[in-house]
Amino acid sequence: MMHAIRPLKAMFGLAPAREFGPKALKAVRQSMIEADLCRRQINKRVNRIRRVFQWAVSEELVPPSVIEGLRTVAGLRKGRTTARESKPVKPVALEQVEPVLSFMAPQVATMIQLQMLTGMRACEVAIMRPCDIDRSGDVWIYAPNKHKTDYLEQEKFVPLGLKSQKLIRPFLERSDDEYLFSPREAETWRNENRALHRKPDRKTKVYPCELRARERRKLASSKRKSKRPKRARYDTDAYRRAITYGIAKTRKAGLDIPHWHPHQLRQGS
C-alpha cells in the first residue's frame, strides 16, 4: 500500500482530498509509467489508491463524487499503453535451489521444499499450524485458515504426501494454534550454529587505540535501541528476504546461483 501512496503523496500531498479527480489520478499513473513499473503493477497500485478514497468516502471524509470520478479511470490495457509488460514468472531449477538449502535455517529450508512439493503459495505455507492439518489418513490434508480466494467463501485443501509429512513432522511438537515455522526459532538455531562454529580466540597484542575504540563501540551499543523482537511466524516479505540472504551466502561460498524468489517455487509444481 505504501508504494502506491508514495507518488500520490509526493504530487498531491498538500492538495485537498475532495479535489482529487480523474486527471490527478492519471497524472499519478503517468509518474508510475515514467518510473518504469510494469502495466499490471501500475493497475494494482491505482486500484489501491481508489480503495483509499473509497474508505474516506465511507468515513464521510470526502464526498461520494470523488470515488465516482476515480472509477471512471479505466485500467491500462495490453498493447494500448507505453507501460512495459511484466515478464512471465518461470519456475526455478532444482539445481539452483538445492545448494541454497544448506545455508538456510531449517524453518526456511522446509518451507522452500514444501512449496516445491505442493505448489502452495508463500503466504499459505507461512501460516501452517498443527490444528489446520488433518492427520487422520495416509495422506494428510492441510486447510489454510487464510488463502487468496477466501473472499469467495471457498475452502482450500492441500494434500500432504509422505515426503511432505516427513518434512513437517519435526515441527509438529507444539501447541495446536502455534505456527510451524517461527522466525524466533530460526534465530535461536542461527545463534547456536554460530557459537558451534566460532573459532577460538587468539591472544594478540591489543594497542591502547584499539581499547579506546572498543570502549566507544560498547558505549554506542548501549545507547542503541534494542532490536525489534522476532515475530511468531514468517510473512511473505520476511520469507523472501531469508531466501535472498541464503542465496547471498551461497554466492559468498563460491557458487554462482542466480537470484530467485518464492513465487518461482510453485510454478513447476
In-domain check, residue 210: no
Q: pLDDT (tens digit, 9 = 90+) per residue, 136-191?
A: 999 999 999 887 766 667 788 999 999 999 999 999 999 999 999 999 999 888 88
3 state SS for the chain: CHHHHHHHHHHHCCCCHHHCCHHHHHHHHHHHHHCCCEHHHHHHHHHHHHHHHHHHHHCCCCCHHHHHHHCCCCCCCCCCCCCECCCCCCCCCHHHHHHHHCCCCHHHHHHHHHHHHHCCCHHHHHCCCHHHEECCCCCEEECCCCCCCHHHCCCCCEEECHHHHHHHHHHCCCCCCCCCCCHHHHHHHHHHHHHHCCCCCCCCCCCHHHHHHHHHHHHHHHHCCCCCCCCCCCCHHHHHHHHHHHHHHHHHCCCCCCCCCHHHHHCCC
In-domain check, residue 221: no
- pLDDT over 90 at 223, yes or no: no
What domain range includes position 117?
94-195+229-266
User: What does the pLDDT read at residue 226?
Assistant: 47
Q: Are 158 and 115 in contact (CB under 8 A)?
A: no
218 against 121, higher pLDDT: 121
d(CA 223, CA 219): 7
Q: pLDDT (tens digit, 9 = 90+) per residue, 24-43?
A: 999 999 999 999 999 999 99
In-domain check, residue 171: yes
- Claim to verify: residue 168 and residue 234 sit in the same structural domain: yes
- Claim to verify: residue 165 and residue 255 sit in the same structural domain: yes
- Claim to verify: residue 262 and residue 163 sit in the same structural domain: yes
Q: pLDDT (tens digit, 9 = 90+) per residue, 56-96?
A: 999 999 999 999 999 999 999 998 999 999 888 788 889 99
Rounded mean pLDDT, 108-128:
94
C-alpha cell at 228: 525489534
Question: pTM to 2 decimals?
Answer: 0.69
User: What does the pLDDT read at residue 86?
Assistant: 86
- Claim to verify: residue 47 and residue 176 sit in the same structural domain: no
In-domain check, residue 211: no
In-domain check, residue 239: yes
User: What does the pLDDT read at residue 25?
Assistant: 95
- Claim to verify: residue 143 and residue 255 sit in the same structural domain: yes
60 against 226, higher pLDDT: 60
Count of domains in the chain?
A: 2
Comparing 21-35, 44-58, 72-86, 223-237, the range with the smallest average pLDDT is: 223-237
pLDDT band at 193 (very low <50, low <70, confident <90, very high): confident
Given 70, 85, 116, the domain boundary residue is 70
d(CA 147, CA 230): 23
Given 70, 86, 106, the domain boundary residue is 70
